[in-house]
Copies of this chain bind each other. A is one copy, B any other.
Amino acid sequence: MIGIGVIGYGYWGPNLVRNFADIPSVDLRWVCDLQTERLARLRLRYPAVQITEDMNTVLADPKVDAVAIATPVSTHFDLAMQALKAGKSVFVEKPITATSEEAQRLIEEADKRGLVIAVDHTFIHTGAVKKLRELIKGDLGEVYYYDSVRVNLGMFQRDVSVMWDLAVHDLSIMDFVLDARPVAVSAIGMAHVDGSPENIAYLNLHFDCKLMAHVHVNWLAPLKVRRTLVGGSNKMVVYDDLEPSEKIKVYDRGITLDPMAPKAGERINQMRIGYRAGDMFAPQLDIVEALGAELSEFVTCVEQGKGPIADGAAGLRVVRILEAATRSMANGGVVVKLPGERVLA
């Protein structure tokens, strides 16, 4: 049995508790929150789980192997670092930290101690995103573009912009499904409410290849859109997360290139561009609850000392892009280079 403590029982914490409670190998021991009325609500539903307002109580319990942190982003680093130092593995709500330096330090601490650090990139555990990855590794051919629109009439947040709130999902998905890593970022956005962070943003990821990625996020849209287009040299995909069952549609469409006899005055290597418009198909998808699958994977990693798919390094890569995009947005959209590796080994 893996002993678990959940830190934070606000918006997302109840989902963690519900899913941990359903994993047979988990001993859900503690829930910690600063607000007593939240704990009272927890007590009604899960009377066997202990409650506390002090995280140290959780960390002092030797039967706790790992903690899951679902608190505001600005607190992730301190809480996760305390937990690691107390010898607990950690599962952290996305984005992993507020800065890349913080993420780097958490990774180092976890490595030093041989503990697991995981970030909650929930979407990569959905049937749709797993299928998208399979298609990109397989049928699509060379990936030409990745275009995501993620807009709705949303909850303005006080301390993070719409980019840290919504685009983080797209960045975590791209980190999982694409073979290439972005080398630079540019972004523009605007805050329509004085004193609030940006509520609309457009984000471009630049790559060292023919791939372009673009993300549109918006808290002030009249309708909810969750649609990603991925164009490849062989096929194209529409991933619409709001479709009840056909979330992934694969189109056997694209262009064809034939060598063309040059006319007088034309360059010899000109190509005739044609079109293919073939069948569309929507594969049946896994319908497991993503968060449940993700927490099960985390528990297995803690048991076996393995690294999860969305490990600290994945969390760090996403935060680096968000940081660079924030810098770009503050400077009118200038291109900001990203550090590190370019293409996956």
Contact = CB atoms under 8 A, between A and B. Distances in A.
> How many identical subunits does the complex contain?
4
Interface stretch (A6-14, A113-121, A214-222, A293-301): A214-222
B279 A281 contact: yes
A188 B254 CA distance: 22
Interface in A262-289: 267, 269-271, 273, 275, 277-284
Contact of A335 (B156, B244, B277, B333): B333
Interface stretch (A53-61, A71-79, A144-152): A144-152
Given A204-B333, A278-B284, A145 B220 contact: yes
A47 B43 CA distance: 11
Interface in A311-345: 332-335
Contacts of A212: 188, 190, 200
A291 interface: no
A151 B221 CA distance: 20
A112 interface: no
28 contacts: A47-B47, A144-B192, A145-B218, A147-B216, A147-B218, A153-B275, A153-B277, A186-B188, A188-B212, A190-B210, A190-B212, A192-B210, A193-B271, A193-B273, A196-B271, A200-B212, A218-B229, A220-B231, A221-B236, A242-B244, A279-B283, A279-B284, A280-B281, A280-B282, A281-B282, A282-B282, A333-B335, A334-B334
Given A220-B254, A224-B244, 17 more contacts: A144-B200, A144-B220, A145-B218, A151-B229, A153-B253, A156-B255, A186-B188, A193-B271, A196-B271, A204-B333, A221-B231, A222-B236, A222-B249, A280-B282, A281-B281, A282-B282, A333-B335
Interface of A: 45, 47-48, 144-145, 147, 149, 151, 153, 156, 186, 188, 190, 192-196, 200, 202, 204, 206, 210, 212, 214, 216, 218, 220-224, 229, 231, 233, 236-238, 242, 244-246, 249, 251-255, 257, 267, 269-271, 273, 275, 277-284, 332-335
Sorted from nearest, which 6 A-B pairs have the closest CB atoms? A222-B236, A222-B251, A281-B281, A280-B282, A156-B273, A144-B192
